[in-house]
Amino acid sequence: MTSKFLRVFLAVAVVLAISAVAQTTGATPLGSTAAPASSAPSSSAAPAGGTKVGTININDAIFGSNEGQRDMQALQKKFEPKQAELKNQNDELDALKKQLSTQQDKLNEDALGNLKKQIETKQKSFDRALQDFQEEGGNQQQEIATRILQKMAPMIVKYSQDNGFAVIVDTSKPWPQSPVLWWGEKSDITKAVVDSYNVQSGVPAPATTGAAAKPAAPKPATGVGTGTAKPPASKPAEPPK
């Protein structure tokens, strides 16, 4: 799963989850259009909403929560054997490419052709294994994000309503990828949501504190070769280490 796909997926999931909650609370979800006013007079006006604009980094909220960090560490541990296997494949491929680079002028035609064939075969095998690794890791990371977001979205709505926010904007992507050019710390509700979610989930902080893990796949071998492995995706879509 690519980082771009994860961001799009999370954005859609946030809208759907928050819209569902908002419908039950009377709030108007982002992007919705108010129903036309009825011709009949209304005996009471709808309660006024908030006026403030807030921001939240959905990625940081999900993977910065105790539950997100715990599950990412478990996923990282699960993929360690595959990570080691890929590293070995990468090292072997790198060694063959260096051998070709330094000895190609000294090898006869048969030996040179055999060496190039080995590199080509191992490169294709590594590329396939790396792609499978990235997709599997990305899919499981997406499952973690979806599960946590489904429980976190109602808290985002409640916190926003309780604190007078009319709009909450996701700042997971920096400008210019995102339309948000600048925001102040006072408008950001990420930490408040994470703190509330940690209390509600009851998941204790992981043994290793700090930012959520950002695992990466091994770097592709360098040198002369017949193929190029796909680089690991950026946070949070990177496959576990």
Q: Which residue from 231, 215, 237, 213 is spatially nearest to 90, judged by alpha carbons?
A: 231
Q: Which residue from 76, 60, 233 is spatially nearest to 148, judged by alpha carbons?
A: 60
HSE-CB at 149 with a 13 A cutoff on CA atoms is 24
Tokens 């490169």 belong to residue: 123
Tokens describing residue 41: 């007079």
Asked whether residue 230 carries a pLDDT value surpassing 80, the answer given is no
Round to whole Å and give the CA distance between 175 and 178: 5
Query: Is 203 domain-assigned?
Result: no
Q: Which domain holds residue 54?
A: 1-18+50-183+210-241
Query: Is 28 domain-assigned?
Result: no
Query: Is 43 domain-assigned?
Result: no
Q: Would you call 188 helix, strand, or coil by DSSP?
A: strand
Query: Is 6 domain-assigned?
Result: yes
Asked whether residue 38 carries a pLDDT value surpassing 60, the answer given is no
Provide the pLDDT for residue 1: 42
For residues 167 and 37, is the Cβ–Cβ distance under 8 A?
A: no
HSE-CB at 65 with a 13 A cutoff on CA atoms is 28
Q: Is 168 exposed, middle or buried (0-12, 13-18, 19+ CB in 10 A)?
A: buried
Q: What is the pLDDT of residues 69-95, one digit of tens each?
A: 999 999 999 999 999 999 999 999 999
Higher-scoring residue by pLDDT: 68, 233? 68
Query: Is 137 domain-assigned?
Result: yes
Provide the pLDDT for residue 208: 67
Tokens describing residue 196: 């509330």
Query: Is 195 domain-assigned?
Result: no
Count of domains forming the chain: 1
Q: Kindly calculate the radius of gyration of the chain based on its CA atoms and give it in whole angstroms.
A: 25
DSSP string, 65-108: SHHHHHHHHHHHHHTHHHHHHHHHHHHHHHHHHHHHHHHTTTS-
Tally: H helices and E strands in the chain: 6, 2
Query: Is 120 domain-assigned?
Result: yes
Asked whether residue 203 carries a pLDDT value surpassing 50, the answer given is yes
Q: What is the pLDDT of residues 96-147, one digit of tens each?
A: 999 999 998 888 999 999 999 999 999 999 999 999 999 999 999 999 999 9
Query: Is 87 domain-assigned?
Result: yes
